Chains A and B, each alone.
Chain A
Amino acid sequence: MSTALFDEPGPKARRRIKVATVAGALAAVALVALAVRQFAANGQLDATRWQPYATWPMWRYLLDGLWSTFLAAVVSAALAMALGLVLALGRLSHRSWVRAPAAAYVEVVRVIPALLLVYVVLFALPRYGLDLLLFWKLTVPLTVSNAAAYAEIFRAGIVSIERGQTEAGLAVGLTRFQAMRLVVLPQAARRVLPSIVSQSVGLLKDTSLGFVVSYGELLYSGKVLAAYNGLLIQTYLVVALIYLVVNASLSKLARTLEARQPSGGLSPWRMSRRSLP
């Protein structure tokens, strides 16, 4: 919040704000009411159409899907972070033959849609005899694409650590590798933690591509349910609600972590890469 932009409102302004708030709220309520009425007029609010979602088995089925979502997200996040760290160190290497391929990987992967990668794993690889299990058909493309994003986050974190830290490490007789491992990385890791969490929320959203692979994650479970009960809109509304609650909690965690840091976050990359699906 940049408070420098305005003064504490005076009595007149406060009154105006109050009036505007009430008017705005009324307008919003009216719009929502109109939408809900139309929605109900189309029979979408009928009790029979919502009743299944008041029963435990439906929720259990969706929560099973959520569990698979978590599993896919956790596995691909872990693999992508490991690969990302290697890539980040590669890009910061002093040897050009290490630096170039790492940079090329990051620059190329970041301009390929994750869906296209999924298609490659789904259709191209089996033709060449590599038919992965369903779980990996989702996690491999996600790992490949998110590794580039994590690499950039790690790199930003490492670069943000003052040179003096490495130099001090070298001065006390550590090798370059030791200085990186014992001095720079632990500090960098703490600094990039919020970005890592945000990126991981993005990755969790990406697992919805399981819909295409027919891996039983949350969105695909919604698809199976909709085929079973024919309640397309209700089912997807419930699915959306689950995603919202889970991801909002994770985002909240990221903000809490960020608030605990002395020096703000680092960010351009985080903002952009989070906007994957």
Chain B
Amino acid sequence: MKRFVAVAVASLLALAACGESSSPAVPGASPQQSEALAKAPVADAAEILPGSTMEKIRQRGELIVGGSLDAPLLSQQNPVSGEVEGFDAEMGKALATYILGEPKVKIVNSASETREALLANGTVDVVFQTYTITEERAKQVAFAGPYYTSGLTIAVKKGTTGIAKPEDLNGKKVLAGANTPAIPAIKKLAPQAEILTFGSDPECIQALKQDRGVAYVQDETILIADAKKDPSIEIVTKPFTEDPYGIGLKHGDDQFKKFVNDWLKKIQDAGVWQGIWKNSIGTVVTGEAPQPPGIGSVPGS
């Protein structure tokens, strides 16, 4: 019996261990690199300071990124290739290229509430996940960047009238993704709105189409993509908030923060940032890539 128990426990642990390495994380080394990534710069040996976080990553041989798998255009897993695609995902690969010379990334799926903890205990090196820089958060994590600025906007079913600005949402049923910045924003600008939350973007869209709410507040990029896919939906306002996305790093690691900021500057100058934008968000937003936000321009960064 004892032997049986010992064997059972051992095999269980083995099973669990293999589960960890394979299932939640997605192996990333991309077989066909995008054009933008091919131009991505690689750091000089001198920049990888001994004893630094960069050196640790180089020794490990891969960059561990906290991100999502279900955010179209930003960080969405392609079920056909298993590859994670989008603006955030490509940025992660570009940073990996800078440190390692190749885009070797492991994405650890992080629910938005656990990002601070993941960074603090070193489970992930960086977070690329629509991580809005706030002074509140900057007390727990360090932010490099901002690397992109987005904002919330409002989508309705085509033909809906009477909603032209956030204040018009007062007294109406409004849809929002669970745990998104839309919830506090609605509460602030339209305190009398009744908020209905769902776990994912397709669910919110479905709910909007089924008239479970009259409006859907979400990040502009995501809504543009939705409106493109589904002609029965239209966007009625310009972005009414400004959310600067930062690269989450371990709190207090100033050396790494400077390193990442330098990298960000380099890829912007080299046009890599713009290329990545074109490949992802640029596929639904017409026109040239916008001016990237100034590095360190936001309180908390």
**A interface, CB within 8 angstroms of B:** 57-58, 60-61, 64, 67-68, 71-72, 74-75, 78-79, 82, 122-123, 126-127, 129, 131, 133-136, 139, 181, 211, 213-216, 223-228, 230, 232-233
Give 19 A-B contacts (CB < 8 Å), ordered by A residue. Answer: A57-B79, A71-B15, A75-B12, A75-B15, A75-B19, A78-B12, A131-B121, A135-B20, A139-B16, A215-B109, A216-B23, A216-B109, A224-B70, A224-B77, A226-B203, A227-B70, A228-B76, A228-B79, A232-B205
Chain A interface secondary structure, helix, strand, loop or mixed? helix
- Cβ contact within 8 Å between B78 and A228: yes
Selecting from B93-101, B194-202, B259-267, B275-283, the interface stretch reads B194-202
User: Closest Cβ of chain A: how far from B209's Cβ, in Å?
Assistant: 10
Other-chain residue from A131, A224, A233 in contact with B69 (beta carbon distance below 8 A): A224
Distance A135 CA – B78 CA, assembled complex (angstroms): 21
Q: Which residues of B contact A131 (CB under 8 A)?
A: 114, 117-118, 121, 123
Q: Which residues of A contact B38 (CB under 8 A)?
A: none
Q: Which residues of A contact B199 (CB under 8 A)?
A: 211, 223
- Cβ contact within 8 Å between A232 and B79: no
Closest 4 A-B residue pairs measured CB to CB? A126-B117, A61-B79, A227-B70, A134-B24
- Cβ contact within 8 Å between B76 and A227: yes
Determine if B230 is an interface residue (Cβ-Cβ < 8 Å). yes
Determine if B108 is an interface residue (Cβ-Cβ < 8 Å). yes
**B interface, CB within 8 angstroms of A:** 1, 5, 8-9, 12, 15-16, 19-20, 23-24, 68-72, 76-80, 82, 108-111, 113-114, 116-118, 121, 123, 199-203, 205-206, 229-230
Other-chain residue from A60, A126, A228 in contact with B114 (beta carbon distance below 8 A): A126
- Cβ contact within 8 Å between B12 and A227: no
User: Closest Cβ of chain A: how far from B155's Cβ, in Å?
Assistant: 14
- Cβ contact within 8 Å between A71 and B19: yes
Q: Which residues of B contact A134 (CB under 8 A)?
A: 20, 24, 108-109
Q: Which residues of A contact B78 (CB under 8 A)?
A: 228
- Cβ contact within 8 Å between B202 and A230: yes
Q: Given the known A-B contacts A226-B200, A227-B202, A228-B72, are A129 and B121 also in contact in the complex, defined by CB atoms under 8 Å? A: yes
Other-chain residue from B70, B110, B123, B205 in contact with A223 (beta carbon distance below 8 A): B70
User: Closest Cβ of chain B: how far from A124's Cβ, in Å?
Assistant: 11
User: Closest Cβ of chain B: how far from A239's Cβ, in Å?
Assistant: 13
Apart from A58-B79, A224-B77, what are 11 other A-B pairs with CB-CB below 8 Å? Answer: A57-B79, A67-B23, A72-B19, A74-B15, A82-B5, A123-B113, A131-B123, A135-B16, A213-B111, A215-B109, A224-B70
Q: Given the known A-B contacts A131-B118, A230-B202, A232-B206, are A122 and B111 also in contact in the complex, defined by CB atoms under 8 Å? A: yes
- Cβ contact within 8 Å between A215 and B230: no
Distance A213 CA – B199 CA, assembled complex (angstroms): 11
Q: Given the known A-B contacts A57-B80, A227-B76, A230-B230, are A135 and B19 also in contact in the complex, defined by CB atoms under 8 Å? A: yes
Distance A135 CA – B22 CA, assembled complex (angstroms): 10
- Cβ contact within 8 Å between A227 and B201: yes
- Please, which residue of chain A has its CB at the minimum distance from the CB of B108? A134
- Please, which residue of chain A has its CB at the minimum distance from the CB of B121? A131
- Cβ contact within 8 Å between B200 and A227: yes
Distance A165 CA – B150 CA, assembled complex (angstroms): 72
User: Closest Cβ of chain A: how far from B74's Cβ, in Å?
Assistant: 11
Q: Given the known A-B contacts A225-B79, A227-B72, A228-B76, are A181 and B12 also in contact in the complex, defined by CB atoms under 8 Å? A: no
Q: Which residues of B contact A213 (CB under 8 A)?
A: 111
Distance A139 CA – B20 CA, assembled complex (angstroms): 12
- Please, which residue of chain A has its CB at the minimum distance from the CB of B225? A230
- Cβ contact within 8 Å between A232 and B24: no
- Please, which residue of chain A has its CB at the minimum distance from the CB of B5? A82
User: Closest Cβ of chain B: how far from A73's Cβ, in Å?
Assistant: 11
Q: Which residues of A contact B20 (CB under 8 A)?
A: 133-135
User: Closest Cβ of chain A: how far from B211's Cβ, in Å?
Assistant: 13
- Cβ contact within 8 Å between B113 and A135: no
- Please, which residue of chain B has its CB at the minimum distance from the CB of A78? B12
- Cβ contact within 8 Å between B123 and A224: no
User: Closest Cβ of chain B: how far from A58's Cβ, in Å?
Assistant: 6
- Cβ contact within 8 Å between A215 and B23: yes
Other-chain residue from B1, B9, B82, B121 in contact with A181 (beta carbon distance below 8 A): B1
Q: Given the known A-B contacts A78-B8, A129-B121, A134-B24, are A223 and B200 also in contact in the complex, defined by CB atoms under 8 Å? A: yes
Q: Which residues of A contact B206 (CB under 8 A)?
A: 232-233
Q: Which residues of A contact B116 (CB under 8 A)?
A: 126
Distance A18 CA – B251 CA, assembled complex (angstroms): 75
